[in-house]
Structure 1
Amino acid sequence: MEKLRIATEPAELDVPLIHRFLSEESTWARGIPLATVEESIRHSLNFGLFSGPAQVAYARVVTDYATFAYLVDVFVLAEHRGKGYSAELMAAIMEHPRLQGLRRFMLATSTAHGLYAKFGFTAPLKPQALMERFAPNVYANGS
Protein backbone atom coordinates (compact mmCIF):
# COMPACT_ATOMS: atom_id res chain seq x y z
CA MET A 1 0.00 0.00 0.00
CA GLU A 2 1.22 3.47 -0.88
CA LYS A 3 1.99 5.87 1.95
CA LEU A 4 -1.08 7.96 2.75
CA ARG A 5 -0.80 11.68 3.36
CA ILE A 6 -3.36 14.29 4.40
CA ALA A 7 -3.07 17.81 2.99
CA THR A 8 -5.05 20.72 4.42
CA GLU A 9 -3.47 23.54 2.43
CA PRO A 10 -5.69 24.54 -0.51
CA ALA A 11 -2.64 24.93 -2.78
CA GLU A 12 -1.89 21.21 -2.40
CA LEU A 13 -5.35 20.05 -3.47
CA ASP A 14 -6.19 18.72 -6.91
CA VAL A 15 -8.98 21.22 -7.55
CA PRO A 16 -9.83 19.92 -11.05
CA LEU A 17 -10.27 16.43 -9.56
CA ILE A 18 -12.47 17.75 -6.74
CA HIS A 19 -14.58 19.75 -9.20
CA ARG A 20 -14.91 16.83 -11.59
CA PHE A 21 -16.08 14.49 -8.84
CA LEU A 22 -18.53 16.95 -7.30
CA SER A 23 -19.97 18.17 -10.61
CA GLU A 24 -20.15 14.82 -12.42
CA GLU A 25 -20.23 11.98 -9.88
CA SER A 26 -21.68 13.26 -6.62
CA THR A 27 -25.37 13.03 -5.86
CA TRP A 28 -25.36 16.29 -3.90
CA ALA A 29 -23.50 18.82 -6.07
CA ARG A 30 -24.04 17.67 -9.65
CA GLY A 31 -23.40 20.56 -12.04
CA ILE A 32 -21.63 22.73 -9.47
CA PRO A 33 -19.55 25.40 -11.25
CA LEU A 34 -15.77 25.38 -10.87
CA ALA A 35 -15.85 28.93 -9.45
CA THR A 36 -18.22 27.78 -6.70
CA VAL A 37 -15.93 24.86 -5.80
CA GLU A 38 -12.92 27.20 -5.70
CA GLU A 39 -14.79 29.64 -3.44
CA SER A 40 -15.91 26.85 -1.12
CA ILE A 41 -12.32 25.62 -0.81
CA ARG A 42 -11.09 29.13 0.04
CA HIS A 43 -13.57 29.41 2.90
CA SER A 44 -13.25 25.94 4.43
CA LEU A 45 -10.84 23.70 6.27
CA ASN A 46 -9.96 21.16 3.57
CA PHE A 47 -8.71 17.60 3.81
CA GLY A 48 -7.22 15.94 0.76
CA LEU A 49 -6.10 12.34 1.18
CA PHE A 50 -3.23 11.34 -1.08
CA SER A 51 -1.95 7.87 -1.91
CA GLY A 52 1.52 8.49 -3.26
CA PRO A 53 1.33 11.62 -5.44
CA ALA A 54 -2.37 11.21 -6.34
CA GLN A 55 -5.30 12.66 -4.46
CA VAL A 56 -7.83 9.87 -3.87
CA ALA A 57 -10.25 11.38 -1.34
CA TYR A 58 -11.50 14.74 -0.11
CA ALA A 59 -13.61 16.36 2.57
CA ARG A 60 -14.09 19.89 3.80
CA VAL A 61 -15.30 21.39 7.03
CA VAL A 62 -17.16 24.69 7.26
CA THR A 63 -16.45 26.04 10.72
CA ASP A 64 -15.96 29.04 12.99
CA TYR A 65 -13.21 27.03 14.79
CA ALA A 66 -14.81 27.82 18.14
CA THR A 67 -18.33 26.40 18.47
CA PHE A 68 -19.57 24.81 15.26
CA ALA A 69 -18.50 22.71 12.28
CA TYR A 70 -20.29 21.15 9.33
CA LEU A 71 -18.67 18.32 7.37
CA VAL A 72 -19.41 18.37 3.64
CA ASP A 73 -18.27 17.13 0.22
CA VAL A 74 -16.79 13.88 1.53
CA PHE A 75 -15.75 11.41 -1.16
CA VAL A 76 -13.31 8.65 -2.03
CA LEU A 77 -12.74 8.04 -5.73
CA ALA A 78 -14.55 4.88 -6.86
CA GLU A 79 -11.38 3.01 -7.80
CA HIS A 80 -9.97 3.57 -4.28
CA ARG A 81 -12.98 2.53 -2.21
CA GLY A 82 -12.84 -0.44 0.10
CA LYS A 83 -9.29 0.32 1.29
CA GLY A 84 -10.16 2.11 4.52
CA TYR A 85 -9.45 5.55 3.10
CA SER A 86 -12.71 7.05 4.36
CA ALA A 87 -11.82 6.01 7.91
CA GLU A 88 -8.31 7.49 7.49
CA LEU A 89 -9.82 10.73 6.26
CA MET A 90 -12.35 10.87 9.09
CA ALA A 91 -9.67 10.16 11.72
CA ALA A 92 -7.60 13.08 10.40
CA ILE A 93 -10.63 15.37 10.51
CA MET A 94 -11.64 14.37 14.02
CA GLU A 95 -8.06 14.72 15.32
CA HIS A 96 -7.40 18.11 13.74
CA PRO A 97 -6.41 20.55 16.51
CA ARG A 98 -8.64 23.36 15.22
CA LEU A 99 -11.73 21.13 15.46
CA GLN A 100 -11.48 20.24 19.14
CA GLY A 101 -13.91 21.45 21.81
CA LEU A 102 -16.74 22.33 19.40
CA ARG A 103 -20.26 22.39 20.80
CA ARG A 104 -21.79 21.01 17.60
CA PHE A 105 -20.31 19.12 14.65
CA MET A 106 -22.86 18.23 11.98
CA LEU A 107 -23.08 16.41 8.68
CA ALA A 108 -25.69 15.02 6.32
CA THR A 109 -25.42 11.58 4.74
CA SER A 110 -27.67 9.20 2.88
CA THR A 111 -25.23 6.31 2.63
CA ALA A 112 -22.48 6.31 5.28
CA HIS A 113 -24.19 6.27 8.68
CA GLY A 114 -22.01 3.35 9.85
CA LEU A 115 -18.78 5.17 9.06
CA TYR A 116 -19.79 8.36 10.83
CA ALA A 117 -21.19 6.50 13.85
CA LYS A 118 -17.67 5.16 14.48
CA PHE A 119 -16.60 8.76 15.02
CA GLY A 120 -19.40 9.66 17.43
CA PHE A 121 -22.00 11.07 15.03
CA THR A 122 -25.62 10.24 15.81
CA ALA A 123 -29.05 11.31 14.65
CA PRO A 124 -29.96 14.73 16.11
CA LEU A 125 -31.16 14.50 19.71
CA LYS A 126 -33.84 17.08 18.96
CA PRO A 127 -34.57 16.94 15.22
CA GLN A 128 -37.56 19.19 15.76
CA ALA A 129 -35.10 21.97 16.67
CA LEU A 130 -33.29 21.80 13.32
CA MET A 131 -34.42 23.65 10.23
CA GLU A 132 -32.98 24.10 6.77
CA ARG A 133 -33.41 25.86 3.45
CA PHE A 134 -32.67 23.24 0.83
CA ALA A 135 -32.26 23.97 -2.87
CA PRO A 136 -31.28 20.59 -4.41
CA ASN A 137 -31.27 21.85 -8.00
CA VAL A 138 -29.41 25.11 -7.47
CA TYR A 139 -26.68 24.14 -9.99
CA ALA A 140 -29.03 22.70 -12.62
CA ASN A 141 -29.32 25.98 -14.54
CA GLY A 142 -25.61 26.76 -14.52
CA SER A 143 -25.95 29.38 -11.77
Structure 2
Amino acid sequence: MKGFRISTNNDELDLNVIHQFVSTSYWAQGIPKSTLEKAVLNSFCFGMFESSGSQVGFARLITDKATFAYLADVFILESHRGIGLSKWLVKTIVEHPDLQGLRRMVLATRDAHGLYSQYGFKPIENPEILMQIWHPNIYNKSTA
Protein backbone atom coordinates (compact mmCIF):
# COMPACT_ATOMS: atom_id res chain seq x y z
CA MET A 1 0.00 0.00 0.00
CA LYS A 2 1.29 3.39 -0.95
CA GLY A 3 2.96 5.16 1.95
CA PHE A 4 3.36 2.02 4.08
CA ARG A 5 5.65 -0.98 4.25
CA ILE A 6 5.87 -4.24 6.18
CA SER A 7 9.15 -5.54 7.58
CA THR A 8 10.20 -8.72 9.37
CA ASN A 9 13.39 -7.08 10.65
CA ASN A 10 13.12 -6.98 14.46
CA ASP A 11 15.74 -4.21 14.59
CA GLU A 12 13.16 -1.84 13.08
CA LEU A 13 10.45 -2.52 15.66
CA ASP A 14 9.48 0.24 18.08
CA LEU A 15 8.99 -1.65 21.33
CA ASN A 16 7.47 1.45 22.96
CA VAL A 17 4.68 1.58 20.36
CA ILE A 18 4.12 -2.17 20.59
CA HIS A 19 4.06 -2.17 24.39
CA GLN A 20 1.77 0.86 24.60
CA PHE A 21 -0.82 -0.94 22.46
CA VAL A 22 -0.47 -4.53 23.66
CA SER A 23 -0.32 -3.63 27.38
CA THR A 24 -3.75 -2.00 27.08
CA SER A 25 -5.30 -4.72 24.90
CA TYR A 26 -7.96 -7.13 26.13
CA TRP A 27 -5.62 -10.08 25.55
CA ALA A 28 -2.49 -8.89 27.37
CA GLN A 29 -3.54 -6.01 29.58
CA GLY A 30 -0.76 -5.02 31.94
CA ILE A 31 1.96 -7.13 30.32
CA PRO A 32 5.33 -5.92 31.59
CA LYS A 33 7.54 -4.38 28.93
CA SER A 34 10.34 -6.85 29.73
CA THR A 35 7.97 -9.80 29.15
CA LEU A 36 6.78 -8.39 25.85
CA GLU A 37 10.36 -7.68 24.77
CA LYS A 38 11.28 -11.32 25.46
CA ALA A 39 8.23 -12.48 23.48
CA VAL A 40 9.17 -10.25 20.54
CA LEU A 41 12.79 -11.38 20.55
CA ASN A 42 11.69 -15.02 20.38
CA SER A 43 9.02 -14.60 17.72
CA PHE A 44 8.78 -14.10 13.97
CA CYS A 45 7.51 -10.50 13.86
CA PHE A 46 5.90 -8.30 11.24
CA GLY A 47 6.04 -4.55 11.72
CA MET A 48 4.01 -2.11 9.66
CA PHE A 49 5.51 1.32 9.11
CA GLU A 50 4.61 4.60 7.50
CA SER A 51 7.07 5.90 4.91
CA SER A 52 8.34 8.25 7.65
CA GLY A 53 9.43 5.17 9.62
CA SER A 54 6.78 5.44 12.34
CA GLN A 55 5.36 2.09 13.39
CA VAL A 56 1.58 1.81 12.94
CA GLY A 57 0.98 -1.94 13.17
CA PHE A 58 2.38 -5.22 14.36
CA ALA A 59 1.90 -8.97 14.49
CA ARG A 60 4.03 -11.82 15.76
CA LEU A 61 4.07 -15.53 15.24
CA ILE A 62 5.29 -18.15 17.64
CA THR A 63 6.48 -20.70 15.11
CA ASP A 64 9.00 -23.31 14.09
CA LYS A 65 8.45 -22.22 10.45
CA ALA A 66 7.98 -25.87 9.51
CA THR A 67 4.83 -27.32 11.09
CA PHE A 68 3.04 -24.85 13.37
CA ALA A 69 2.44 -21.15 14.03
CA TYR A 70 0.41 -19.22 16.58
CA LEU A 71 -0.52 -15.71 15.45
CA ALA A 72 -0.56 -13.18 18.28
CA ASP A 73 -0.55 -9.49 19.17
CA VAL A 74 -1.98 -8.32 15.85
CA PHE A 75 -2.86 -4.63 15.76
CA ILE A 76 -3.12 -1.51 13.67
CA LEU A 77 -3.09 1.77 15.59
CA GLU A 78 -6.57 3.25 15.77
CA SER A 79 -5.43 6.35 13.86
CA HIS A 80 -4.60 4.16 10.85
CA ARG A 81 -7.61 1.85 10.74
CA GLY A 82 -10.19 1.67 7.99
CA ILE A 83 -7.82 1.83 5.01
CA GLY A 84 -7.06 -1.88 4.61
CA LEU A 85 -3.82 -2.15 6.56
CA SER A 86 -5.00 -5.08 8.71
CA LYS A 87 -6.01 -7.01 5.61
CA TRP A 88 -2.64 -6.35 4.00
CA LEU A 89 -0.83 -7.41 7.19
CA VAL A 90 -2.72 -10.70 7.56
CA LYS A 91 -2.38 -11.45 3.82
CA THR A 92 1.36 -10.80 4.01
CA ILE A 93 1.67 -13.16 6.97
CA VAL A 94 -0.27 -16.09 5.53
CA GLU A 95 1.51 -15.74 2.16
CA HIS A 96 5.02 -15.34 3.61
CA PRO A 97 7.42 -17.87 2.01
CA ASP A 98 8.78 -19.00 5.41
CA LEU A 99 5.27 -19.98 6.52
CA GLN A 100 4.21 -22.13 3.59
CA GLY A 101 3.57 -25.83 4.23
CA LEU A 102 2.64 -25.40 7.89
CA ARG A 103 0.27 -28.06 9.14
CA ARG A 104 -1.54 -25.62 11.42
CA MET A 105 -1.69 -21.89 12.05
CA VAL A 106 -3.94 -20.80 14.90
CA LEU A 107 -4.97 -17.65 16.68
CA ALA A 108 -7.38 -16.49 19.34
CA THR A 109 -9.61 -13.48 18.79
CA ARG A 110 -12.62 -12.05 20.52
CA ASP A 111 -13.72 -9.66 17.82
CA ALA A 112 -11.94 -10.06 14.46
CA HIS A 113 -13.32 -13.31 13.07
CA GLY A 114 -14.46 -11.57 9.88
CA LEU A 115 -10.95 -10.35 9.11
CA TYR A 116 -9.21 -13.67 9.66
CA SER A 117 -11.83 -15.79 7.87
CA GLN A 118 -10.99 -13.89 4.65
CA TYR A 119 -7.55 -15.51 4.78
CA GLY A 120 -8.55 -19.10 5.50
CA PHE A 121 -8.90 -19.15 9.29
CA LYS A 122 -11.87 -21.20 10.50
CA PRO A 123 -13.23 -22.17 13.92
CA ILE A 124 -11.44 -25.17 15.43
CA GLU A 125 -13.22 -28.27 14.15
CA ASN A 126 -12.41 -30.46 17.14
CA PRO A 127 -11.88 -28.12 20.07
CA GLU A 128 -12.04 -31.07 22.44
CA ILE A 129 -8.58 -32.20 21.27
CA LEU A 130 -6.98 -28.95 22.43
CA MET A 131 -5.85 -28.35 25.99
CA GLN A 132 -4.24 -25.41 27.71
CA ILE A 133 -2.63 -24.10 30.82
CA TRP A 134 -4.16 -20.65 31.15
CA HIS A 135 -3.34 -17.90 33.60
CA PRO A 136 -5.67 -15.09 32.48
CA ASN A 137 -4.60 -12.67 35.22
CA ILE A 138 -0.86 -13.30 35.17
CA TYR A 139 -0.05 -9.64 34.39
CA ASN A 140 -2.34 -8.30 37.12
CA LYS A 141 -0.01 -7.84 40.08
CA SER A 142 -2.81 -7.99 42.65
CA THR A 143 -3.80 -11.55 41.61
CA ALA A 144 -0.57 -12.91 40.17
Q: Give TM-score scaled by structure 1 length.
A: 0.94
Structure 2 residue identity aligned to 1:39: K
Shift in alpha-carbon separation, 1:54–1:2, aligned structure 2, 3 A = farther
Equivalent position of 2:111 in the other structure: 111
Q: Is this contact kept in 2: 1:2–1:51, CA < 8 A?
A: no
Structure 2 residue identity aligned to 1:49: M
- Supply the distance in 1 between the matched residues of 2:107 and 2:113 (Cα, whole angstroms): 10
Equivalent position of 1:5 in the other structure: 5
Equivalent position of 2:84 in the other structure: 84
Structure 1 residue identity aligned to 2:9: E
Q: Which blocks of at least 5 consecutive residues in structure 2 are unaligned?
A: none
SS of residue paired to 2:93: helix
Alignment of 1:47 with 2:49, yes or no, is no
Identity of aligned residues (%): 50
SS of residue paired to 1:21: helix
- Supply the distance in 2 between the matched residues of 1:107 and 1:93 (Cα, whole angstroms): 13
SS of residue paired to 1:124: coil
- Report the RMSD for the aligned CA atoms in angstroms: 1.4
Equivalent position of 2:64 in the other structure: 64
- Supply the distance in 2 between the matched residues of 1:141 and 1:103 (Cα, whole angstroms): 37
- Supply the distance in 2 between the matched residues of 1:65 and 1:103 (Cα, whole angstroms): 10
Equivalent position of 2:17 in the other structure: 17
Structure 2 residue identity aligned to 1:107: L
Q: Is this contact kept in 2: 1:41–1:60, CA < 8 A?
A: yes
Equivalent position of 1:35 in the other structure: 34
Structure 1 residue identity aligned to 2:140: A
Q: Is this contact kept in 2: 1:66–1:101, CA < 8 A?
A: yes
- Supply the distance in 2 between the matched residues of 1:83 and 1:40 (Cα, whole angstroms): 28
Structure 2 residue identity aligned to 1:50: F
Structure 1 residue identity aligned to 2:71: L
